[in-house]
Structure 1
Amino acid sequence: MLPFNLIIELGIVSVVLMATRFAAFGRKLAVATLVLLALVSFSPLGNLLLYPLESRFPPWDPSRGAPDGIIVLGGSIDPDMSVAHQTPIVRHAADRLLAPAELARRYPKARVVFTGGSANVVSNDAREADWAGTVLENIGIAKDRLIMERNSRNTFENALFTKQLVAPKPGERWLLVTSAYHMPRSMGIFRKAGFDVEAYPVDWRMNGRDDLFSFTNVGTDGLGRTEVAVREWLGLLAYRLRGRTGEFLPGPAKD
């Protein structure tokens, strides 16, 4: 259960209890709920949870030479809103879309793959890849260089479907572009799928170690970091238990 959802539910329960013979307990629960809200919103908790994820993989080292391909994970564009407004709506992690443009310019022979469909439980035809192509073309990547994978619903399917689509050859080097906090789980999934990729983290939410014990004056910022971190740690646990990654917290490959 994510922190904000838990806080809302505890708040509702406390209000209901105050109208019953358990009113004293309801008041205590209400106080505890406010303390919890302050903890996740203004304390360093979110930073402490996020830092081990964001710092797990270092920035990509270009000294090894040009990559053969660039894989961009979805998660930036809201496909449903894009369909509703008939224009790409970028709501999160815009760096996932901006970084490939620079990489494509620097490495003109590299193929560029965007992988992302729809995470909706009820299937519809709103697919992120259908709108990402427009954004990537507008920021300078030629259409004939783009390969769009539109059927995946999660990171596990990103890895499987992309591997099937591009059929990487032995010795090829592929970059994986995604948010720094999401990189450990993504690398673990691609490795488990037998697709050897190199981490290219973007979209950092922290300045680094200096932020570890800093308190935030903006509650929504602290709450947002905590939400992102808790969701990712739960994802790491779930994927490990389901055998979709080979280790709980994947890290850089050992030489």
Structure 2
Amino acid sequence: MPFSVLLSAIASALLLPPANSLLLCAAGFLLRQRMRKTGNLMIFLGVAMLLVLSTRLGAMLLVRPLENQYPPLAAAGDAQAIVILGAGRMGNAPEYGHDDEASMIGMKRLQYGAYLQRKTGLPILVTGGSPDGSPESEAALMARTLRRDLGAEVRWEEKRSNTTYDNAVMSADMLKQDNIGRILLVTDAIHMPRSVRVFSSTGLKVTPAPTVFTGTASSRITDYFPAASNLQLSSYAMHEWIGQAWYWVRH
């Protein structure tokens, strides 16, 4: 695993729920010996943040501003290709002969990309390397899944990228060699804002084609109940907010 990827994983573990709330509580306990009121406040804030982000209502505070930036695709326009971003893997899947397979959110991206190809006839590029050190790239397993399970052909496989920024730069290089400058970009709606920014920075004309909208369900009483799935969603959305800030500083 590249050192930069390992460093990013450590930073994410510390900055995202639930570790950030637990660290805030731990700091509060340490401060209570000398600054009782401040320590108690930090403990309260840590517990409150964990509880709020564990509810769907709390998660939507982070999710909806991201998902609302780009609506579902209405028309392909003058796009020349479909670019599908990788989203990790499910390793050693026994039901598929112990091959690695796309993650659940990655599978939704692939399904939508295949759907768009059937509608438009546009060629597909899949992008994703092996940030976890796996011998097979995400692009390779994505291409295999598209051909085997979804009947979609892949023209380009970008197999070296480890980050969304790498996805953009390396994919743009491949596409421009074939004189392609206009793309449909497929990723989930939460990830789309950061993806559009970095792909647009390469000079490509990007038409967003988001999928997996999680904030469209109607309100219900269970939105106020804590659940692990809500905390996971909050963590993903917070990761995107932090990622946008980091890309703004770094790139």
* Residues 51, 24 of structure 1: alpha-carbon distance in 2 compared, 3 angstrom cutoff: closer
Q: Secondary structure at the match of 1:131?
A: helix
- 1:51 is matched with 64
- 1:239 is matched with 247
Q: Secondary structure at the match of 1:88?
A: strand
TM-score scaled to structure 1, two decimals?
0.77
Moved beyond 6 Å, runs of 4+ = 14-18, 20-28, 80-84, 168-171
Task: Tell me how far apart the structure 2 counterparts of residues 195 and 148 of structure 1 sit (CA, whole Å).
Answer: 18
- 2:128 is matched with 116
* Residues 203, 76 of structure 1: alpha-carbon distance in 2 compared, 3 angstrom cutoff: farther
Q: 1:5 pairs with 4, 10, 19, which one?
A: 19
CA-based RMSD: 3.4
Are the equivalent residues in 1 in contact too, given 2:143–2:157 (CA < 8 A)?
A: yes
Identical-pair percentage: 25
Deviation at 1:238, TM superposition (A): 0.7
- 1:142-196, CA deviations, whole angstroms, 9 ceiling, x for partnerless residues? 54x4311110001111111111112167785310000111111111101111111
Task: Tell me how far apart the structure 1 counterparts of residues 127 and 76 of structure 2 sit (CA, whole Å).
Answer: 26
Q: Structure 1 stretches of 5 or more lacking a match?
A: 244-255
Q: Given residue 196 of structure 1, which amino acid in structure 2 is its aligned partner? A: K
Judge which range, 38-47 or 164-173, deviates more.
Answer: 164-173
Deviation at 1:34, TM superposition (A): 3.1
Task: Tell me how far apart the structure 1 counterparts of residues 179 and 222 of structure 2 sit (CA, whole Å).
Answer: 45
Are the equivalent residues in 2 in contact too, given 1:72–1:178 (CA < 8 A)?
A: yes
Are the equivalent residues in 1 in contact too, given 2:111–2:150 (CA < 8 A)?
A: no
In the comparison of the two structures, how many residue pairs are matched? 236
Please give the residue correspondences for 1:12-161 in structure 2 after superposition, counting only pairs within 5 Å: 32-42=45-55, 44-62=57-75, 64=77, 67-78=79-90, 85-108=98-121, 110-120=122-132, 123-143=133-153, 145-161=154-170
Q: 1:229 pairs with 232, 237, 245, which one?
A: 237
Are the equivalent residues in 2 in contact too, given 1:76–1:97 (CA < 8 A)?
A: no
Q: Secondary structure at the match of 2:83?
A: strand
Q: Structure 2 stretches of 5 or more lacking a match?
A: 1-14
Q: Given residue 51 of structure 2, which amino acid in structure 1 is its aligned partner? A: A
Task: Tell me how far apart the structure 1 counterparts of residues 46 and 30 of structure 2 sit (CA, whole Å).
Answer: 14
Task: Tell me how far apart the structure 1 counterparts of residues 114 and 220 of structure 2 sit (CA, whole Å).
Answer: 31
Task: Tell me how far apart the structure 2 counterparts of residues 104 and 128 of structure 1 sit (CA, whole Å).
Answer: 20
Deviation at 1:130, TM superposition (A): 2.0
Q: 2:228 pairs with 207, 220, 236, which one?
A: 220
Judge which range, 23-32 or 156-165, deviates more.
Answer: 23-32
TM-score scaled to structure 2, two decimals?
0.78
